[in-house]
Amino acid sequence: HKLCYKHSSTTAQELRLCIEDQEEVEESPVDEFGMTPFHVLFSSVEPSEELLEALLYRFPYYVLGWKDANGKLAMDYLVTNWTGENKILLEMALQSWMLSRLTSWGATLWMEVMQSKVQAVLAEEDKEQRKTLC
């Protein structure tokens, strides 16, 4: 969590090393606000693609579906703080959260349907409409 809060000065390598150390301790990925590292990263002004990759590698897809103490998903913060640069981050998160699971189930048709929904979210220019799609 601390490294995600300090994301502007944290490298992906530092985060990976910290995650490896935490695996030995088996700490909960949720802080006192009910936020996962994804919530923290996505609530920042300029979230990092490299840090997101490190988190996606470490945590299972379903952690992206956890809500914080305010009842928000991590992706809610990303959509609320939308910038053009966040588009790739949202795509990466949606790929992990929705499509990876369907692929592992062998649900090809569902995966194709969800892939088109992901593309619709990414293509949507209206911020409020994008929120409803997520």
18-55 confidence digits (pLDDT tens)? 767 665 444 668 888 899 999 999 988 888 888 899 88
What six digits make up the tokens of 76?
Answer: 């809610």
- pLDDT given for residue 71 in this prediction: 95
Residues of the chain with pLDDT under 70: 1-9, 15, 19, 21-28, 99, 101-102, 127, 129-134
> Which helix (H) or strand (E) segment is 55 a member of?
helix 49-58
pTM of the model: 0.66
DSSP H or E run through 52: helix 49-58
CA distances from 50 to 13, 70, 121, 126 (A): 9, 27, 22, 27
Give the Cβ contact number of residue 56 at 10 Å: 19
